[in-house]
Amino acid sequence: MNSPFNLENQTEYSNWREYKLSQYPTNNEKLLVKFHKNVISKSDVNLIKELIKKYNFAFYEFESVVSDKELHKFCSKLGLEKSISNLLSDADNISNITNQEGNKDKISGKEYIPYTDKRLNWHTDGYYYPIDSAIKSFLLHCVNPAKNGGENFLLDHEIIYIHLRDYNPDFIDVLMQNNIMEIPKNKNVEGSKNVSGPVFYIDKNNLLNMRFTSREQNIIWQKNDMIKKIKDFIFEFITEEKKYIFKLLLRKNQGYIANNILHKRESYIDGEKKRLLKRLRFSNRIGY
Ligand SMILES: [Fe+2]
């Protein structure tokens, strides 16, 4: 296997690494694609694909309001056809991310943080799923922004992989172990099982995927001499890093589309109209 993500392939890794890092620094404007009169042209699609090849995400902006159907159409132009549902998504597999205050989980009685106005810490989507049903890409579209806050922070997972590997390749070896991070079963859900898996893994297309949450509760890290050092490294990187982390405050009709990169959200305060973001998730990557 010639994947640069295989620790044995040092030459492939060096070449890929050089290409990847040469794309930085960049800025939000260079990653933004605007759809004139809401029409997504062929060159818009190609530009988004190109940006995603380099950064694993791209920002976009429609001129005016778009329907759910149009959002699906946009995704399908990028090869994203099979959307994934979840317990809270609607009939079109769209999750309406808004503050459902007081609307606690019927089973556990707990608040589900994405559907509040609280801060949502660094994670990749679906880190609690087994890797054979992983989320590989997603779209987040702003219908209505908050009055204050709600910024999104994004970090290409391949960038953190490079920094970990350069610092100590053994870190990658540990993070690729099949049982390094375990999410315990939800005792309140019948049939729920523990989900154990790697942080980094290479899929059948030879691409790198990441399962991660910075949540400290309800996560079991496999005992390993290096795990504390690795976690400290990751937390320092996502807290201190400036060159590779993008801060984005989505305006109405703007959004971002991404392979399953690391991201977080700041807390926010609603105005008269509630903040509403639409989210679509897919089982394949953009362009694959
Ligand atoms: Fe997320």
The burial class, CB within 10 Å (0-12 / 13-18 / 19+), for 225 is exposed
Cα(85)–Cα(20) distance, integer angstroms: 32
> Which residues are within 5 Å of ligand 1 (an ion), measured at CB?
125
Cα(119)–Cα(140) distance, integer angstroms: 16
Fold of 10-282: Double-stranded beta-helix (3.60.130)
Distance from the alpha carbon of residue 261 to the mean position of ligand 1, in angstroms: 9
Distance from the alpha carbon of residue 26 to the mean position of ligand 1, in angstroms: 23
Among 79, 56, 48, 83, smallest CA distance to 68 is for 83
Distance from the alpha carbon of residue 164 to the mean position of ligand 1, in angstroms: 22
pLDDT in tens, 176-214: 999 999 999 988 778 889 999 999 999 999 999 999 999
pLDDT in tens, 116-140: 999 999 999 999 999 999 999 999 9
Distance from the alpha carbon of residue 263 to the mean position of ligand 1, in angstroms: 6
Among 90, 89, 94, 96, smallest CA distance to 75 is for 94
User: Amino acid identity of 213?
Assistant: T
For 37, list phi and psi in degrees, rounded to 5.
Answer: 55, 30
Q: Give the pTM.
A: 0.95
Among 131, 180, 153, 166, smallest CA distance to 266 is for 153
